[in-house]
């Protein structure tokens, strides 16, 4: 990420322990940030969420036999990195249970997690069941929305400094001023953020356009 560092944007590095990284399986439609797991485990360990997030990443290990956290692996088979023990292994356990057809065990696990499946979804098996279960438990939309809410600035704030990257005209003209102020009554401005290849030669390419304040597909 350091390659794209821009003084206008500030620190663009991503940090799992700050909730700016989503771990996902795009093909299966699920994702999570450490925030969601930290919320679940914070009350269990009697610590606040920010502290729990730190423990779920980096050189933080938990020994399930002693119930203690350490900054190094003691070598004990019960001492595992926080992320592995509290994020990776629970997901892997669900996947294995689904793929092995252990439905009774799965229903018990899901009940503890507060995950409810529809009657027709319970009839699924194998990979289809696994995808449905984890999509319900860790929906990608939830992780994405969480990151947008907590980490993206509002347009009224962001456009004050992003105008220099988005607009190539004079930065003191009416267009730059309207973008900078996020003025809904300003002149119409469209920014082509992406052009999509068209299958037919000579046809107009579909584009994703950003108006000064909204997104359009045209």
CATH number of the domain encompassing residue 209? 2.40.30.10
Higher pLDDT, 189 or 22: 22
- For residue 12, the model assigns a pLDDT of 77
Q: For the whole model, what pTM was predicted?
A: 0.78
Q: Are 41 and 49 in contact (CB under 8 A)?
A: no
CA separation for the pair 80, 101 (Å, rounded):
28
Domain span at residue 190? 153-217
17 pLDDT tier (thresholds 50, 70, 90): very high
- For residue 104, the model assigns a pLDDT of 96
What CA dihedral angle connects 69, 42, 82 and 29, to 10 degrees? 180
CATH number of the domain that residue 50 is part of: 3.90.1430.10
Asked whether residue 124 falls in the same domain as residue 201, the answer is: no
Q: Are 52 and 35 in contact (CB under 8 A)?
A: no
Give, for 140, the enclosing helix (H) or strand (E): helix 140-151
C-alpha distances in Å from residue 133, one per residue of 57, 91, 126, 180: 25, 10, 11, 44
* Domain boundary pick from 128, 149, 170: 149
Asked whether residue 142 falls in the same domain as residue 180, the answer is: no
Task: Tally Cβ neighbours within 10 Å of residue 29.
Answer: 15
* Mean pLDDT rounded to a whole number for the chain: 88
Tokens read off for 14 = 């991503």
What angle is formed at CA 37 by the lines to CA 34 and CA 39, rounded to 5 degrees? 105
Tokens read off for 58 = 């980096």
- For residue 215, the model assigns a pLDDT of 40
Please name which of 58, 70, 45 lies closest in space to residue 16, comparing C-alpha atoms.
58
């Amino acid at each position: 990420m350091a390659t794209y560092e821009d003084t206008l944007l500030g620190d663009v590095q991503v940090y799992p322990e700050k909730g700016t990284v989503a771990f996902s399986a795009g093909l299966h439609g699920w994702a999570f940030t450490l925030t969601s797991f930290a919320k679940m485990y914070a009350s269990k360990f009697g610590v606040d969420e920010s502290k729990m997030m730190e423990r779920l990443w980096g050189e933080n290990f938990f020994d399930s036999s002693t119930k203690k956290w350490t900054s190094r692996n003691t070598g004990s088979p019960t001492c595992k990195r926080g992320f592995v023990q509290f994020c990776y292994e629970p997901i892997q356990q669900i996947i294995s249970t689904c793929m092995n057809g252990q439905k009774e065990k799965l229903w018990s696990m899901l009940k503890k997690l507060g995950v409810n499946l529809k009657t027709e979804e319970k009839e699924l098996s194998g990979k289809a069941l696994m995808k449905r279960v984890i999509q319900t438990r860790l929906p990608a939309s939830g992780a994405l929305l969480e990151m947008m809410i907590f980490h993206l600035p509002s347009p009224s704030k962001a456009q004050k400094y992003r105008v220099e990257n988005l607009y190539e005209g004079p930065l003191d003209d009416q267009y730059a001023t309207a973008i900078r102020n996020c003025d809904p009554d300003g002149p119409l401005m469209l920014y082509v953020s992406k052009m999509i290849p068209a299958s037919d030669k000579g046809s107009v390419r579909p584009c994703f356009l950003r108006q000064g304040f909204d997104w359009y597909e045209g």
